[in-house]
């Protein structure tokens, strides 16, 4: 070969071969969609809308179980002998109110709550881009769901940034808004969208954010208006409750327990429920795993082993009278047995009878040796939502964010606050006592009002705000034998967020 | 693209100008050959004192100008001893060069070419087959351990299927690619395990940025270049190597015997079991390597067949593999065209086993029997179990369950070199790597471990398929012009990566008989509990590169490199990056005639290299169902949900690392003492890291950002001394030494302030983090409370640093360092007549290790359920729960006798059929000097895949092993 020809051929080759692809560095997607090929048909739009609903299940995720249940007086995750759930003590600090800004549960909840706010913003933006008119009712639903997340945010952190747009500049860092502004934002968002929302209650519309959901959000917001803004709004709260009670398709269930059965969908009390399913929503609600003792696996023939964590606080358990049907429905306590009736044993029980006087046989005790180092068997456990035999540790029941009972009790509270001798308030409360098989009250007191709500609504997500509204949140308890600081009524803005966003202002008392 | 064309034109023009011989002078022709009369190409023949010189061609022929009979000429060639000869008055001028083995003339592979070692101006280490580590070697990384200053290699303890962790010059990137880029016979990004250790001729390590810049993109963590053996045209040979080895448990954690366990309050289950003994064995392995090589005329070949059967010391672990290789070279067009074909095939069947057996063997009470009868235990298949948290009978884990892997790989690599003009070569390479990994796992219906029992049998199958295609064009122009040598290189590189993954898991079987081979027999499919996933991703890398090397009078050297590279993984507008390297050196030994100094070269280099993100699609907003499809209830039906999968970062761009390296190469006393010293400073900017970002406005709490700034400094020394060189006795000593300190300068980006964060979460039931990442501070600060003893009430006394009477977060202090200060390797090779002895020590110092096993299983409060670790730190006075504080942080410094080899080379009779025969005995990991009480004092560079959390010895660490190997080597 002539060397010149060879060189020319090489140069030509060097030009041709890469020319096909030499500047082509576009990414090719195979297993995902991007902005170019997503939302091309109605089913895809529906799948996108689903993100707002499936995201609601994060309310029952790990960190949120701690921030929702453990800082009030309902539940606790104690440190146990041998070190289970112990360590740096952050779990226990939730209950004794000694938490710091580094606490991982606040970080987790903040990230999950705001991730959902953003998911709603993104969805609103995308639906508006697609066809704002055609999807107007979807957009209103998503806005109400966003308002619900803000209802939780205003309760936990109070002063939080209001972010209601998705198309923001890349370096946009939202600033803290005052609690009053957040309050007005929630109110406006719900009121502006109520008209677009459905009122029909059927299997087809079950678990959708509708008119009744919006009214329930307003009822909660107005009920706590004094806490959130300094100005009570009892009449507005009453009006929202009445809108549901007088016009809504809801009624009290015959028994307390049926509200929490495996198949509780379409329950007459469910105003807005988050559907859970042991198959379709695996790992999204794992309360049985978090609460039950390792050995309880043999009580319920579970196919996943539980972790011996969350227990009922001593004071709360003792709020119930002995024959209260709700106590027997909600709790597991005393001697435990296997599915076949044998005593349930713990191979790792404490040999020191001062720590565990019951030996290997597990007895769930209402009391704890201490918050930070207690026996493995300590603590009453939760079985409020049906624990089926052979369950996989995931709940099948739907979680009612707003339950008709709650609305009735809210109405009773408002009436009682307006007139402590209001007979209608007493009657409303007593119908729950009657249903639970305990003697009716002859009058209402602050403690009776608060604790009847507690007994009825155990672990339904409202105890924290109830305690704060009744000014009992900082009281001493069996596990926190002192009055905690008042600023603990608001959670700290997580350290990672403060670091990443200079426009955030830490809540008072945490600097 | 343009650059490439310009380069070609320039190279072509230069060739036209320079390629013509001058006429009209007194000329003398001659021939240079080696001792076997084979021609030596490229030898320099120069007339002493005049500077006139010539270079031999492929036939060894040269023509000298201005030469007259009687003149002295100096003849030198790479790899041969230079010699002087006198121009004869008549007859053939035939000069014979003998092969020389000094380090100075060694050829070093520099990436897209090679150079004589004395011309190198950057930090490159070269290790040849004869210097490799010996023994039971199954991964090429083992060949290098301790041999290259600055290259840290941590073996996966005794795990025959474990992955090696390789670090060059500390940590200069935070992504997945902390290990060096590997190049095998020109195939970029190859896997180190794709080449059989027996097939390797040399390994070159490009350490500094100046050298690695030619591989710009992924050069930040260093480059390891492997060249495999080739056939020789002179001689056909058959080589057979075989060895057999026996491997025993070396280091584990000391635990309580039955009597100690009972004396401390343990529970008596009526048995007496040494659980570690029950799960381990003396493992026997054997390896056979047959290689055929030879050639004639224009063709040479090497074929090799390697069979390895490796047993792990844990029962039912190990692997069996075949590695085949074919290296062919064919010359054509009058030797102008050289075609090289390399085919490499790997096939490996592994029994991975379950690492959890180690924790179980440590904590299962010694009073528990292995098997038990009765209805209670029938559910467990007759094995004893006692259903405590994380407690499983380790023998049952091994006997009941299976965890296997099948791994095949094929590398097709074709290279063509076309000599266009004298000194000008154009090359093209086409290569494909196809890799498939299949994992199979089955957990028995009777296995308490791994939910086998709960799920009534659980089977899974997973597969990974990776394909990498490489196409490269290079032009190389090599010319000597008077005293000036120069070498120009230009090229284009195109690489495409495809990877696919699929996984299926399902349980609930009627029988264990199917294992994981009939997954459709699982009832989980009908019950909605089965799991399936698959994905595919691709990416591309495209580069244009050029390099110029200049040398003047073998004294002054200069090298300049540029690579412009683009990756599909970056955001639009940020895809391309430029990586430059510049290095220079001067050999003072050539300038001044210093007695006994053969070389004294000072060199300095500067280079910029880059790093890629770990995955594709980070720059765009992607949507999908995620790895598990999520549902929501719509119209009474559970309906699929698609949502954004991550925060996009459209500004994603190249991570860059600048490195300055200053070094000196010294050769003294006829090169009997050589030393290489280097200091370096690496500065990484725009480091890719997944950082917390504010939510809102982001959807997810973390985004991959170009936010990091790191600094890495170190010193390296490599010294080789031929202390005794006598006919019947020789002694060579080699020392490598390296230090490194790595620091986080910043992890903040604009308003996103990193500040101080703690990483490295402790395993449940412990909580909290053990490593503090702090801007401006070293990587790997261990944090915790400071242990000061045990109080009368059995609790720990913790130092109250702020003296406020409370032990809390304010009392957390820095209690250790996760990364070592330095490491060294010391090898001595003694030769006495036909015997040789190789003794190799290795050590690492200055690092601490968090002994996680102790934090969880050394407390008397745990003894009712678990057996306890009983190291020198065990204190029965402590009655509290599991704990972490400075009591559990230990010094990791160690020295060990890494290996010792005694070899005997058989003296063969002159007419023997064999040409060489050798037998050798090697012992590996013969002893340690260390105060560490855990499994292995080697540093750990990451924890839970977080490279910012070094220094944690994780639970379930494989035990270390001691191996004795008897090997034989024959060449026919």
Relative orientation angle of helices A136-156 and A179-194, to the nearest 10 degrees: 160
Tokens of A488: 């603990």
Best probe of the A interface among B264, B570, B697, B861, by most A CBs < 10 A, is B697
Categorize the per-residue pLDDT at B867 as very low, low, confident or very high, splitting at 50, 70 and 90. very high
CA distances from A349 to A82, A85, A292, A378, B268 (A): 10, 16, 15, 11, 14
Residue from A3, A10, A32 to probe the interface with B (highest B Cβ count within 10 Å)? A32
| The predicted structure's pLDDT at residue B78 | 65
| A50 vs A45: CA distance, rounded Å | 9
Q: Distance from B492 to chain A by nearest Cα, in Å? A: 8
The helix (H) or strand (E) run that includes residue A468 is: helix A463-469
pLDDT band at B475 (very low <50, low <70, confident <90, very high): very high
SS3 B289: strand
Residue B527: C-alpha distances to residues A471, B455, B508, B522, B619 (Å): 49, 12, 10, 9, 38
ipTM of this complex: 0.89
* pLDDT at residue B102 greater than cutoff 60: no
**If DSSP codes are grouped into helix, strand and coil, which group holds residue B729?**
strand
Closest CA to B29 of B51, B2, B56, B1: B56
Q: Count how many Cα atoms sit within 13 Å of the Cα of residue B924 in the half-sphere of its side chain.
A: 23
Residue A262 touches chain B, beta carbons under 8 Å: no
Reply yes or no on whether the pLDDT at B757 is more than 90. no
Say whether B753 and A500 touch across the interface (CB within 8 A).
Answer: yes
Banded model confidence at residue B19, pLDDT cuts 50, 70, 90: very low
Residue with tokens 């380090």: B103
Q: Is A511 on the interface with B (CB under 8 A)?
A: no
Chain B: residue whose CA lies nearest to A176: B696
B window 67-106, beta carbon within 8 A of A? none
Residues 33-52 of A with CB under 8 A from B: 33-35, 38, 44, 46-51
Residues B340, B939 contacting (CB under 8 angstroms): no
| Three-state DSSP class for residue A374 | strand
Distance CA A348, CA B363 (A): 13
Cβ-contact B628, B531 below 8 angstroms: yes
Shortest Cα distance from B597 to chain A (angstroms)? 44
Distance from CA of B121 to the nearest CA of A (A): 30
Q: Does A1 touch chain B (CB under 8 A)?
A: yes
Tokens 């000072």, residue located: B602
* B856 in contact with A, Cβ within 8 Å: yes
| Mutation target among A348, A353, A370, A394 for the B interface, most CBs of B within 10 A | A348
Q: pLDDT digits over B711-738, tens only?
A: 999 999 999 999 988 888 999 999 999 9
If DSSP codes are grouped into helix, strand and coil, which group holds residue A300?
Answer: helix
- Of B970, B853, B673, B912, the closest CA to residue B255 belongs to B853
Under a CB-based contact definition with an 8 Å cutoff, are residues B615 and B582 in contact? no
CB–CB of B896/B841 below 8 Å?
Answer: yes
Residue B883 to residue A373, Cβ atoms within 8 A:
no
The mean per-residue pLDDT over the stretch B695-705 comes to: 87
Mean pLDDT for chain B? 88
Contact B767 A86 (CB under 8 A): yes
pLDDT at B51: 65
Q: At residue B24, does pLDDT exceed 50?
A: no
Choose between B931 and A8: higher pLDDT: B931
Q: Would you give the end-to-end CA distance of chain B in angstroms?
A: 51
pLDDT tens digits, B349-375: 999 999 999 999 999 999 999 999 988
Contact B200, B140 (CB under 8 A): yes
From B269's Cα to the closest Cα of chain A, the distance in A is 11
pLDDT higher than threshold 60 for residue B21: no
Quote the CA–CA distance of A206 and B636 in Å, as a whole number.
7
Per DSSP bridges, beta strands B576-587 and B556-567 are antiparallel
CA–CA separation, B850 vs B167, rounded Å? Answer: 20
Instruction: State how far the Cα of B115 lies from the Cα of B78, in Å rounded to an integer.
Output: 9
Give A129's strand partners: none
Rg (CA), chain A: 27
Q: Identify which of A166, A113, A53, A501 has the alpha carbon closest to the alpha carbon of residue B750.
A: A501
List of residues 6+ apart from A338 with CB closer than 8 A: A298, A299, A344
DSSP-assigned beta bridge partners for residue B470: B431, B495
Contacts of A174 in chain B (CB under 8 A): 694, 696-697
- Tell me the chain B residues in contact with residue A277 when contact means C-beta distances shorter than 8 Å: 631, 638
| pLDDT for position A12 | 47
Nearest CA-CA distance, residue A16 and chain B, Å: 10
List the single best residue of A88, A153, A172, A263 to mutate versus B (max B Cβ within 10 A): A88
CA B714/CA B612 separation, integer angstroms: 24
DSSP symbols for A398-443: PEEEEEHHHHHHHHHHHHHHH-TT-HHHHHHHHHHHHHHTSPPPSS
CB contact under 8 A, A161 and B451: no
Which of B98-129 are b and which e, b meaning 16 or more Cβ less than 10 Å from the residue's Cβ?
A: eebebbbbbebbbbbbbbbbbbbbbbbbbbee
Query: What is the DSSP code string of B302-343?
Result: EEEEEEEEEE-SBTT-EEEEEEEEEEEEEEETTTTEEEEEEE
Q: Is B656 on the interface with A (CB under 8 A)?
A: no
How far off is chain A from B624, nearest CA to CA, in Å? 5
Whether B262 and chain A come into contact, CB under 8 Å, resolves to no
Provide φ and ψ at A51, rounded to 5°.
-60, -35
SS3 of chain B: helix, strand, coil, percent, to 5: 10, 50, 40
Residues of B with Cβ-Cβ distance to A28 under 8 angstroms: 538
Asked if pLDDT for residue B534 goes beyond 80, the answer is yes
Model pLDDT, residue B122: 84
Task: Tell me if B237 sits within 8 A of B194, measured CB to CB.
Answer: no
How much is the pLDDT for B945? 84
Tell which residue, B877, B725, B710, has the closest CA to residue B792.
Answer: B877
Provide the pLDDT for residue A230.
96
- Confidence class for position B17, pLDDT limits 50, 70, 90: very low
Q: What is the pLDDT of residue B235?
A: 76
Distance from CA of A253 to the nearest CA of B (A): 21
Q: How many CB pairs under 8 A join A and B?
A: 290
Cβ distance of A170 and B529 shorter than 8 Å: no
CA–CA dist B84, A7 (Å, integer): 39
Phi, psi of A431 (to 5 degrees): -65, -25
Strand ranges across the sheet with B769-774: B756-761, B769-774, B781-784, B813-817
- SS3 for A207-232 is CCCCHHHHHHHHHHHHHCHHHHHCCC
Q: Which residues 675-694 of B have a C-beta within 8 angstroms of A?
A: 692-694
Q: Is the pLDDT of residue B18 over 50?
A: no
Q: Residues B190-205: what's their mean pLDDT?
A: 89
Chain B partners within 8 Å of A501 (Cβ) = 694, 751-752
- B662: closest CA among B680, B683, B674, B684? B680
pLDDT of residue B671: 84
Cβ partners under 8 Å of residue A471, min gap 6: none
The residues, ordered by sequence, that sit 6+ positions from B378 with a Cβ below 8 Å of its Cβ are none
- Token look-up 């039950």 returns A292
Q: Name which of A499, A502, A504, A510 to mutate to probe chain B: the one with the most chain B Cβ atoms within 10 A of its Cβ.
A: A499
Surface-to-core class of residue B798, CB atoms within 10 Å of its CB (0-12 exposed, 13-18 middle, 19+ buried) = buried
Q: Which residues of A touch B617 (CB under 8 A)?
A: 27, 29, 32
Residue among B12, B537, B634 whose CB faces A46 most closely: B634
Cross-chain residue pair B697–A91, CB shorter than 8 Å: no
pLDDT of residue B215: 83
- A466 min Cα distance to partner chain B (Å): 28
Q: What is the mean pLDDT of residues B765-770?
A: 83
* B500-559 residues touching A, CB cutoff 8 A: 527-529, 534-540, 542
Pairing of strands B124-128, B484-507: unpaired
| Segments in A304-343 forming alpha helices (H) | 314-317, 325-330
Please judge whether A24 and B387 are an interchain contact, meaning their C-beta atoms are less than 8 angstroms apart.
no
Instruction: Determine, for residues B641 and A21 on separate chains, whether the beta-carbon distance falls below 8 Å.
Output: no
Strands B94-96 and B27-33: parallel
Do A117 and A146 meet the contact criterion of CB atoms below 8 Å apart? Answer: yes
Q: Are strands B952-953 and B848-851 parallel, antiparallel or unpaired?
A: parallel
Whole-number Cα distances in Å, A301 to A306, A339, B61, B453, B963 = 11, 7, 88, 11, 47
Q: Kindly compute the dihedral angle of the four CA atoms of residues A67, A71, A72, A75, in this order, to the nearest 10 degrees.
A: 80
Instruction: Note which residues in 800-829 of chain B have CB less than 8 A from chain A.
Output: 809
CA-CA distance, A215 to A209, in Å (whole number)? Answer: 11
CA end-to-end span of chain A: 81
Q: Which residue of A has its CA nearest to B538?
A: A28
Q: Is the pLDDT of residue B136 over 90?
A: no
Shortest CB distance from B767 goes to which of A21, A87, A499? A87
Residue A445, C-beta contacts closer than 8 angstroms, at least 6 positions apart: none
Contacts of residue B693 in chain A, CB cutoff 8 Å? 500
Could you give the CA distance from residue A413 to residue B175 in angstroms, rounded to a whole number?
A: 56
User: Nearest residue on chain A to B762, judged by CA atoms?
Assistant: A87
Which secondary-structure segment (H or E) carries A273?
strand A270-274
- Kindly give the confidence (pLDDT) of every residue in chain A, 511 residues in length, as a single tens digit, with 9 standing for 90 and above: 444 444 444 444 454 444 455 678 889 999 999 988 999 999 999 999 999 999 999 999 989 999 999 999 999 999 998 778 877 788 999 999 999 888 999 999 999 999 999 999 999 999 999 999 999 999 999 999 999 999 999 999 999 999 999 988 877 899 999 999 999 999 999 999 999 999 998 999 999 999 999 999 999 999 999 999 999 999 999 999 999 999 989 999 999 999 999 999 879 999 999 999 999 998 999 999 999 999 999 999 998 889 999 999 999 999 999 999 999 999 999 999 999 999 999 988 888 899 999 999 999 999 999 999 899 999 999 999 999 999 989 999 999 999 999 999 999 999 999 999 999 999 999 999 999 999 999 999 999 999 999 999 999 999 999 999 999 999 999 999 999 999 999 999 998 888 888 899 999 999 7
Q: How far apart are CA A472 and CA B284, in angstroms?
A: 70
pLDDT at B165 over 90: no
Tokens of A99: 């938490």
> Within 13 A of B916's CA, how many CA atoms are on the CB side?
14
């Amino acid at each position: 070969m002539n060397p010149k020809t060879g060189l020319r051929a090489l140069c030509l080759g060097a030009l041709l071969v890469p020319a096909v692809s030499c500047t082509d560095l576009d990414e090719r997607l195979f297993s995902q969609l991007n902005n170019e090929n997503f939302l091309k048909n109605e089913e895809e739009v529906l799948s996108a809308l689903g993100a707002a609903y499936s995201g609601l299940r994060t309310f029952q995720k790990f960190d949120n179980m701690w921030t929702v249940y453990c800082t009030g007086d309902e539940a606790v995750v104690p440190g146990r002998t041998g070190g289970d759930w112990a360590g740096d003590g952050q779990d226990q600090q939730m209950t004794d109110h000694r938490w710091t800004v580094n606490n991982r549960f606040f970080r987790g909840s903040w990230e999950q709550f705001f991730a959902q706010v953003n998911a709603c913003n993104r969805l609103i933006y995308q639906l508006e881009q697609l066809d704002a008119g055609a999807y107007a009712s979807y957009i209103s639903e998503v806005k109400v769901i966003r308002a619900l997340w803000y209802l939780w945010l205003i309760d936990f952190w109070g002063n939080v940034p209001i972010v209601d747009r998705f198309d923001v500049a890349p370096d946009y860092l939202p600033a803290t808004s005052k609690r009053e502004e957040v309050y007005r934002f929630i109110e406006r968002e719900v009121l502006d969208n109520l008209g677009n929302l459905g009122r029909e209650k059927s299997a087809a519309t079950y678990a959708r954010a509708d008119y009744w959901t919006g009214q329930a959000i307003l009822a909660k917001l107005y009920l706590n208006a004094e806490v959130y803004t300094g100005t009570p709004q009892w009449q507005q709260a009453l009006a929202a409750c009445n809108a549901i009670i007088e016009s809504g398709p809801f009624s009290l269930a015959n028994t307390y327990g049926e509200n929490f059965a495996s198949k509780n969908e379409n329950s007459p009390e469910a105003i807005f429920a988050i559907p859970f399913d042991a198959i379709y929503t695996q790992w999204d609600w794992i309360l049985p795993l978090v609460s039950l003792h390792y050995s309880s696996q043999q009580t319920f023939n579970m196919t996943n082993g539980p972790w011996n964590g969350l227990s009922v606080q001593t004071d709360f358990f003792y709020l119930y009278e002995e024959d209260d049907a709700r106590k027997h429905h909600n709790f597991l306590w005393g001697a435990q047995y296997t599915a076949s009736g044998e005593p349930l044993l713990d191979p790792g029980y404490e040999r020191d009878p001062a720590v565990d006087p019951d030996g290997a046989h597990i007895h769930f005790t209402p009391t704890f040796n201490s918050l930070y180092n207690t026996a493995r068997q300590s603590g009453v456990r939760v079985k409020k939502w049906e624990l089926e035999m052979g369950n996989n540790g995931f709940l099948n029941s739907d979680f009612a964010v707003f339950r008709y009972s709650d609305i009735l009790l809210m109405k009773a509270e408002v009436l009682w606050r307006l007139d402590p001798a209001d007979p209608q308030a007493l009657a409303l409360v007593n119908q729950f006592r009657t249903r639970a098989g305990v003697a009716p009250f002859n009058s209402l007191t602050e403690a009776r009002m608060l604790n009847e709500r507690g007994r009825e609504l155990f672990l339904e997500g409202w105890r924290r705000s109830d305690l704060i509204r009744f000014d009992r949140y900082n009281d001493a308890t069996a596990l926190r034998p002192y009055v905690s600081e008042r600023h603990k009524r608001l959670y700290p803005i997580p350290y990672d967020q403060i670091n990443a966003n200079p426009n955030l202002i830490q809540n008072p008392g945490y600097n | 693209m343009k650059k490439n064309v310009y380069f070609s034109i320039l190279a072509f023009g230069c060739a036209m100008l320079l390629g013509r011989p001058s006429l009209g002078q007194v000329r003398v022709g001659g021939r240079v050959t080696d001792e076997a009369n084979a021609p030596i190409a490229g030898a320099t023949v120069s007339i002493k004192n005049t500077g006139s010189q010539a270079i031999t061609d492929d036939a060894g022929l040269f023509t000298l100008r201005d030469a007259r009979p009687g003149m002295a000429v100096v003849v030198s060639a790479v790899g041969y001893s230079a010699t002087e000869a006198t121009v004869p008055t008549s007859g053939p001028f035939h000069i014979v060069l003998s092969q020389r083995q000094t380090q100075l003339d060694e050829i070093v592979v520099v990436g897209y070419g090679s150079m004589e070692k004395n011309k190198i101006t950057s930090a490159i280490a070269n290790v040849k087959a004869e210097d490799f580590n010996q023994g039971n070697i199954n991964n090429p990384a083992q060949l290098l351990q301790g041999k290259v200053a600055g290259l840290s290699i941590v073996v996966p303890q005794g795990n025959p299927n474990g992955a090696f962790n390789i670090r060059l010059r500390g940590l200069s990137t935070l992504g997945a690619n902390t290990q060096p880029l590997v190049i095998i016979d020109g195939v970029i990004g190859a896997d180190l395990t794709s080449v059989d250790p027996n097939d390797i001729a040399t390994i070159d390590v490009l350490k500094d940025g100046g050298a690695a810049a030619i591989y710009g993109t992924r050069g930040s963590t260093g480059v390891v270049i492997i060249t495999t053996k080739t056939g020789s045209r002179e001689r056909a040979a058959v080589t057979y190597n075989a060895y057999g080895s026996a491997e025993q448990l070396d280091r584990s954690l000391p635990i309580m015997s039955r009597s100690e366990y009972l004396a401390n309050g343990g529970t008596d289950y009526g048995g007496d079991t040494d659980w570690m003994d029950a799960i381990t064995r003396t493992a026997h392995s054997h390896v056979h390597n047959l290689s055929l090589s030879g050639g004639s005329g224009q063709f040479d070949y090497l074929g090799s067949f390697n069979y390895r059967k490796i047993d792990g010391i844990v029962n039912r672990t190990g692997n069996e593999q075949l590695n085949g290789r074919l290296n062919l070279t064919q010359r054509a067009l009058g030797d102008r065209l050289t075609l090289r074909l390399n085919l490499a095939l790997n096939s490996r069947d592994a029994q991975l086993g379950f690492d959890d057996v180690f924790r179980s063997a440590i904590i299962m009470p010694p009073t528990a029997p292995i098997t038990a009868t009765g209805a209670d235990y029938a559910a467990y298949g007759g094995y004893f179990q006692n259903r405590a948290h994380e407690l499983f009978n380790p023998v049952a884990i091994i006997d009941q369950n299976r965890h296997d892997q099948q791994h095949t790989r094929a590398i097709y690599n074709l290279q063509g070199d076309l000599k266009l003009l004298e000194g000008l070569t154009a090359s093209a390479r086409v290569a494909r790597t196809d890799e498939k990994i299949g994992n199979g796992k089955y957990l028995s219906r009777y296995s308490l471990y791994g939910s086998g029992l709960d799920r009534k049998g659980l089977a899974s199958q997973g597969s990974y398929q990776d394909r990498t295609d490489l196409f490269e064009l290079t032009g190389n122009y090599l010319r000597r012009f008077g005293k000036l040598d120069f070498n120009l290189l230009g090229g284009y590189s195109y690489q495409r990566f495809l990877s696919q993954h699929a996984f299926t898991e399902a349980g609930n079987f009627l029988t264990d008989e199917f294992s994981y081979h009939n997954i459709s027999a699982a009832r989980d499919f009908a019950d909605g509990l089965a799991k399936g996933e698959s994905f595919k991703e691709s990416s591309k890398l495209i580069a244009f590169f050029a390099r110029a090397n200049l040398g003047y009078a073998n004294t002054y050297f200069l090298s300049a490199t540029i690579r412009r590279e683009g990756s599909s993984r970056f955001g639009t507008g940020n895809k391309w990056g430029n990586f430059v390297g510049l290095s220079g050196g001067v050999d003072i030994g050539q300038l001044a005639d210093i007695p006994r100094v053969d070389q004294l070269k000072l060199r300095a280099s500067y280079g910029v290299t880059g790093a890629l993100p770990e995955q594709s699609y980070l720059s765009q907003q992607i949507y999908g169902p995620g790895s598990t499809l999520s549902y929501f209830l719509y119209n009474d039906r559970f309906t699929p949900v698609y949502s954004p999968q991550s925060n996009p970062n459209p500004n994603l761009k190249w991570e860059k690392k600048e490195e300055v390296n200053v070094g000196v190469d010294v050769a003294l006393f006829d090169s009997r003492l050589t030393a290489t010293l280097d200091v370096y400073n690496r500065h990484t900017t725009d480091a890719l890291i997944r950082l917390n970002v504010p939510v809102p406005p982001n959807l997810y709490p973390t985004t991959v950002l170009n936010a990091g700034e790191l600094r890495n400094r170190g010193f390296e020394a490599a010294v080789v001394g031929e202390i005794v060189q006598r006919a019947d006795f020789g002694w060579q000593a080699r020392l490598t030494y390296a230090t490194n300190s790595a620091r986080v300068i910043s992890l903040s980006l604009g308003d996103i302030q990193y500040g101080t964060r703690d990483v490295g979460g402790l395993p449940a039931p412990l909580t909290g983090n053990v490593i503090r990442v702090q801007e401006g501070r070293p990587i790997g600060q261990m944090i915790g409370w400071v242990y000061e003893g045990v109080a009368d009430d059995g609790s720990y006394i913790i130092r109250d640093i702020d003296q406020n009477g409370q032990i809390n977060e304010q009392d957390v202090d820095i209690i250790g360092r996760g990364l070592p200060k330095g490491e060294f390797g010391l090898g001595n090779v003694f030769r006495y007549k036909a015997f040789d002895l190789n003794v190799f020590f290795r050590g690492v110092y200055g690092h601490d290790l968090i002994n996680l096993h102790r934090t969880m299983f050394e407390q008397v409060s745990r003894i009712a359920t678990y057996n306890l670790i009983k190291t020198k730190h065990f204190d029965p006075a402590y009655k509290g729960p599991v704990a972490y504080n400075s009591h559990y942080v230990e010094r990791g410094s160690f020295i060990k006798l890494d290996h010792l080899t005694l070899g005997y080379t058989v003296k063969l009779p002159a007419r023997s059929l064999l040409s060489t025969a050798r037998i050798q005995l090697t012992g590996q990991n013969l002893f340690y000097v260390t105060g560490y009480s855990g499994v292995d004092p080697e540093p750990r560079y990451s924890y839970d895949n977080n490279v910012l959390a070094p220094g944690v010895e994780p639970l379930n660490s494989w035990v270390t092993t001691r191996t004795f190997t008897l090997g034989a080597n024959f060449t026919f």
